[in-house]
Amino acid sequence: MTSALVISAPGTGAPPLADELQAAGIHVIGACECDKLVQQALRHAPDVVVCWEPAPAEAGLFDALELLSRTQPMPVLVFTADASVEGAQRALALGVAGWVVHGYAPTRLRSLLQLARVRFEHEQRLRGERDEANQRLEERKLVDRAKGILMRSHGLSEDEAFRRLRGAAMQGKLRVGRLSQQLIDAARDAEALNRSGQLRMLSQRLVALQALRLAPAPDVDAAALQSAARRQTQRNLEQLGRTLSAPTLGDLLQPLQSAWAALERALDAAPQLDGLPALDAAAEALLAAAETLTRALEGGSALQTLSAVNLAGRQRMLGQRLLKQVLMGALLATPAGAQALSLAAATAREFDQALQRLQQSPLSSPAIRIALDAAAREWQRMQQGVREAGHESGRRQLAQAAEALLARFEELTGDYERSAQLLFD
């Protein structure tokens, strides 16, 4: 038997709806005014809601129907005196299946209720088909983006990228669209962390190159390298500003941008030995802000393997930091120079420890291990240059080894970034 919830209010001239519905073979499971509609509908779960409301807008019926449509859609039949087109349009938009104007009659109740239920089921089916079509379209967009990521990062054809996506989805018992979204999120998180990590490195590199401009090393164009590093810093900041969520991470981006503005002003001044400590202080502020953002990106991502990306990226910073500290120690016969030299040993130890951790990382594929071995050789060359930094030949070896080491870890961080997205092999 069809069940109905009756909605009416005293003083509206409502007929004896409950009795007439019962006479038509409809089981009335409750009755209330429209302010209790949603509460009673959820409580009783009727097959249909029957409303008598001559002025629905004034009585707040539309508001109740909107809440009902969001919480628990069900067939609704409304008897009303509202003959306006606006009222009918609003009712239709809220999913009202029957809108009867000045048309109440006990003999029509059963057929009107049946029509309301059939129309509601038809519209629900259409909505389901529309939602499914929209989902397929959105999934296709996600799959196309995920294929593009795989094609770029692994050098695959479009067909091979899709084959890998589909195979991984089957293995993980996921929809291809869901797996594609995971890959897109992983690529976004890894790229943002890589860029933030580059800012850490660039903060140290800019000071190291300033020192090389003051104590030139043969075959090293420190001024050109510094200009390139400044452009790279600006690009990374702009890209992070575009891709990161302002509500989530905007409070961490702002200090980063402020620190960069201060460092830029210091870099605009003519290079002078006595200006190195102030430049270094500005760089340390940028490093601290970049470190905070990087930690937040790693901690806020569901991708656990980002720790390897962060660790590899941090090696870039440590290599440039050691270069900076050794050069400042060699150039400055001041407490600042002595402090830089005292910190250099700790930086070298930290680099050694992180290198060992990377070599033991589960993401260290055979190709990555080969690259790590090459980086370790450049690290040995750089340490030899550290010992001879007081001479031009030593500074040349130090600077060149630092450049080679940076290039190795730029490539390695990219390798870890790709490995951290998703392992499809």
Whole-angstrom CA distances from 396 to 85, 217, 224, 385 are: 84, 5, 16, 8
CA pair distance 203, 201, nearest whole angstrom: 5
Whole-number pLDDT of residue 290? 96
Give per-residue pLDDT as tens, 243-261.
898 898 989 999 999 999 9
pLDDT computed for residue 425 by the predictor:
44
Report the pLDDT value the prediction gives residue 120, as an integer from 0 to 100: 92
More confident residue, 362 or 87: 87
**Matching residue, tokens 């961490």:** 252
Residue 28: its pLDDT value, please? 93
- Tell the CATH superfamily of the 3-125 domain: Response regulator (3.40.50.2300)
Confidence of residue 424 (pLDDT cuts 50, 70, 90): very low
Q: Which band of pLDDT confidence, cut at 50, 70 and 90, is reported for residue 361?
A: confident
Q: Judge whether residue 336 has pLDDT over 50.
A: yes
**What beta strand segments (E) does 190-301 contain?**
none
Q: pLDDT tens digits, residue range 380-392?
A: 999 998 988 888 8
> What pLDDT does 423 receive?
46
**pLDDT tops 60 at residue 399:** yes
Q: Is the pLDDT of residue 21 over 60?
A: yes
**Largest alpha-carbon pair distance within the chain?**
107
pLDDT, tens digit, 9 for 90 and up, residues 150-198: 888 778 899 998 998 888 888 888 888 988 988 888 888 888 999 999 9
Strand (E) or helix (H) holding 99: strand 98-101
Most confident among 64-68, 171-175, 357-361 (mean pLDDT): 64-68
Stated pTM of the model = 0.69
Work out the pLDDT band at 421, boundaries 50, 70, 90: low
What tokens were used for 295?
A: 């930690």
Mean pLDDT value across residues 217-242 = 93
Cβ-contact 61, 51 below 8 angstroms: yes
Span of 143-152, 201-210, 231-240 with lowest mean pLDDT: 143-152
Residue 300 binned pLDDT confidence (cut-offs 50, 70, 90): confident
Mean pLDDT of the chain: 90
The token pair at 203 is 């903060």
pLDDT of residue 375: 93
Measuring CA to CA, how many Å separate 246 from each of 71, 191, 193, 240, 288? 31, 17, 16, 10, 20
The DSSP letter of residue 305 is T
Domain ranges in the chain? 3-125, 132-172, 176-421
Q: What is the dihedral of CA 170, 176, 182, 185, to 10 degrees?
A: 150
**225 falls in which pLDDT band (50, 70, 90)?**
very high
CATH architecture of the region 132-172: Orthogonal Bundle (1.10)
Read off the amino acid at residue 135: Q
Torsion of CA 232, 238, 244, 247, to 10 degrees: 140
